């Protein structure tokens, strides 16, 4: 254990003198990649589909003009894609593709 004022670095699993590899040099973990692709497809379908359906339902419930209803569908679908983007950022943070 390092003393409070000490500049000693903790030893890594790769060795005491091995430099830390940046993420770009780490090997691609295909298991994590396939998991993230499956999550993107599953959650993306649910999230974008549900948001599109919400836009369609609001347009129908309010008995809006068809063009206004389509605008609601487009806006809600875009919101679904934005939510999917943020979900995938968090998923990649918890299940890194490299390493």
The b-or-e profile of 21-49 (16+ CB within 10 A means b, else e) is eeeeeeeeeeebeeebeeeeeeebeebbe
The confidence score (pLDDT) of residue 49 equals 95
- The two three-digit tokens of residue 95, written as one number: 């299940």
Phi and psi (nearest 5°) for 16? -75, -35
Q: How far is Cα 99 from Cα 94, in angstroms, rounded to an integer?
A: 12
Rounded CA-CA distance 73/56 in Å is: 6
Residue 92 neighbours by CB under 8 Å, 6+ apart: 36
DSSP assignment letter at 28: B
CB of 98 closer than 8 Å to CB of 26: yes
Query: Mean pLDDT over residues 53-63, rounded?
Result: 95
User: Is the pLDDT score of 7 beyond 80?
Assistant: no
Is 0.75 topped by the overall pTM? no
pLDDT attached to residue 50 = 96
Evaluate if residue 59 carries a pLDDT over 80.
yes
Using only C-alpha atoms, the chain has a radius of gyration, in whole angstroms, of 23
């Amino acid at each position: 254990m390092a003393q409070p004022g000490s500049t000693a670095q903790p030893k890594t699993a790769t060795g005491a003198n091995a430099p830390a590899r940046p993420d770009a040099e780490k090997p691609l973990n295909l298991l994590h990649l396939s998991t993230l692709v499956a999550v993107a497809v599953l959650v993306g379908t649910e999230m974008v589909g549900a948001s599109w359906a919400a836009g369609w339902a609001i347009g129908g419930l309010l008995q809006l003009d068809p063009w206004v209803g389509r605008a609601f569908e487009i806006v809600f679908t875009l919101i679904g894609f934005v939510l999917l983007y943020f979900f995938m950022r968090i998923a990649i943070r918890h299940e890194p593709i490299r390493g």
